[in-house]
Copies of this chain bind each other. A is one copy, B any other.
Amino acid sequence: MAVSARRGAPLTREEIYAAAWRLIDADGVEGLSMRKLAAELDVNPMSLYHHVENKTALMQEICLRVGTQLAPPPDDGLPWQDQIRALGDAYRELARRHPSLWRYVFNNPEVMSTRRGGMWDVLHRLLRLAGVPEEDVPRLAEILSSFVSGFIFSESTGGVRPDAWDDAVTLLIGGLEAYTGR
């Protein structure tokens, strides 16, 4: 038969993604190799290439899937300050659930170039709500996103104490209030 000598059923893409994700969450992205992944699946390393183009394509697909898990909070009518905090919380929670994968995405942003979740639209809406002039919205969104990403990254490397998140968001909100003149 054509299936693996060691397994009963043929490989599937889903199986591969799931196993890779498991390995990454356990050992970090740098702990993932095509050969280890194959071992985890009880399969010859070269079998993987029948289902996946190469390692970068594999990583890309996994990153797109983790991006899918980000559900930006809906507009609940609260003041923009509260909503921006909720958005930050949601983003940070996702990052903390998959620290290694999130670090990979942060280091390789081109991987998310196509689909980057509804987070961006929500942030733009909240900046408008805060009174940021339309022409400044995209630039400020990029700035805030880079700030928050930097903070989360530093949190994941221990460069920032664990209780700093609330103050960090407060600082950004204060900055926005100053920027728009209240």
Interface 9-residue window, one of A4-12, A16-24, A88-96, A154-162? A154-162
- Chain B nearest CB from A175 CB (Å) reads 3
Interface residues as binary, A33-52 with B (CB distance below 8 Å gives 1, 0 otherwise): 00000000000000000000
In the complex, are the beta carbons of A164 and B177 less than 8 A apart?
A: no
How far apart are the CA atoms of A102 and B182 in the complex, in Å? 36
Expressed in whole angstroms, the minimum distance between the Cβ of A95 and any Cβ of chain B is: 12
Asked whether, in the complex, the Cβ of B168 is within 8 Å of the Cβ of A179, the reply is no
Rounded to whole Å, the gap between the CB of A144 and the closest CB of chain B is 8
Q: Which residues of B have CB within 8 Å of A57? A: none
Contact of A164 among B109, B143, B155, B168 (CB under 8 A): B143
Closest Cβ neighbor of A142 among chain B residues: B160
A58 proximal to B (CB < 8 A): no
Determine if A176 is an interface residue (Cβ-Cβ < 8 Å). Answer: yes
**A31 touches B (CB below 8 Å):** no
User: How long is the Cα–Cα vector from A171 to B142 in the complex, in angstroms?
Assistant: 13
A153 touching B146, Cβ below 8 Å: yes
| Interface positions of A (Cβ within 8 A of B) | 103, 106-107, 109-110, 136, 138-140, 142-151, 153-155, 157-161, 163-164, 167-168, 170-179
Given A144-B171, A147-B168, A167-B179, 17 more A-B residue pairs with CB atoms under 8 Å apart are: A103-B107, A139-B164, A139-B167, A142-B154, A143-B151, A143-B160, A143-B164, A146-B159, A146-B160, A147-B147, A150-B151, A150-B154, A171-B175, A171-B179, A174-B174, A174-B175, A174-B176
What are the 3 closest A-B residue pairs judged by CB atoms, nearest first?
A150-B150, A174-B178, A175-B175
